[in-house]
Structure 1
Amino acid sequence: MSQSTLVSTRIDKWLWAARFFKTRSLATNAVELGRVLQNEQRVKPAHAVKVGDILEIHHADQVWQVEALRILEVRGSASIAQTMYAETADSITKRQQRAEYRRLHTEPAAQLQQRPTKRQRRQLDNIAID
């Protein structure tokens, strides 16, 4: 069966080919942990993805809601991977809002590369008191 006539493929293969995960084992693990929903349902890694399915993918701090447009089992270039799905408008706005929130509300501890010095600790304590 050629790549253009595929009707369905395993969800872990599709996620890997669409470049949501770097390896197939990472995609399999995410599906097993329930971080990938297909049509609002938890599925197993061997579950089939078909054109028109809605997938919700939680990876790192990102959440994508996409519709499967093409079925490929091989990993191609990023431009080919982007033709495999279409992100929903609601997902785009939520991701943009989340990115804006992260940009404006940085976690103070995220800027620390190591344990604070005595001087930095005093400054942090003074901020907490004020």
Structure 2
Amino acid sequence: MADTVRLDKWLWATRLYKTRSLAAKDASANKVKRDTRALKPAAAIKIGDLLEVPSHDGTHKKQIEVVQLIDKRVGAPLAREAYRDLTAADVLAEATRRKEDQKANRQLRKEGDQGRLNKKQRRAWNRGLHQFGEPEQPSN
């Protein structure tokens, strides 16, 4: 096997990204870094490189060490062996807390305002306004 592999190919093969084009898109947007320097999708990576990759949910950045070079998509257990996750525990804890906060906020939004009123709710609301002092339109 070669001594180097394209960045986008390796990210896809290790299942850090669902598609190679998503890996290339993030690399082009300077979201994937090696030693604080942004990498392009065609950048060559080698064993021992330390990469900074955004997490799937976007809550934190993963610190990844390249352990094995693969360029073909493999099963999840084999893909997991191709890198070592060096992300600090406090960063992971903060990301977990942020995810829980987002989940709680989502639940509150569901319980609160539901946005635009439907026809039935609008009519009920209009009937309520007429009860509080607005004169009703006379029916002929």
Q: Identify the TM-score tier after normalising by the shorter chain.
A: 0.7 to 0.9
- TM (norm. structure 2) is 0.70
Higher strand share: 1
Number of equivalences: 112
The residue aligned with 2:27 is 31
The one-character-per-residue Cα deviations of 1:94-126 (angstroms, maximum 9, x if unpaired) are 1233203432x34665223498259xxxxxxxx
Contact 1:63 1:95 in 2 (8 A): no
Structure with the greater alpha carbon radius of gyration: 2
The residue aligned with 1:10 is 6
Question: Tell me, which stretches of 5 or more residues in structure 1 are unaligned?
Answer: 119-130
- TM (norm. structure 1) is 0.75
Q: Percent identity?
A: 28
Q: What is the deviation of 1:58? A: 1.1
Question: Tell me, which stretches of 5 or more residues in structure 2 are unaligned?
Answer: 116-140
Q: Which amino acid aligns with 2:70?
A: L
State the alpha-carbon separation in 2 of the partners of residues 108 and 29 from structure 1.
31
| Structure 1 residues 1-130: aligned runs within 5 Å | 5-59=1-55, 60-61=57-58, 62-90=60-88, 92-103=89-100, 105-106=101-102, 109-111=105-107, 112-113=109-110, 116-117=113-114
State the alpha-carbon separation in 2 of the partners of residues 93 and 109 from structure 1.
22
Q: Which amino acid aligns with 1:53?
A: D
Contact 2:64 2:87 in 1 (8 A): no
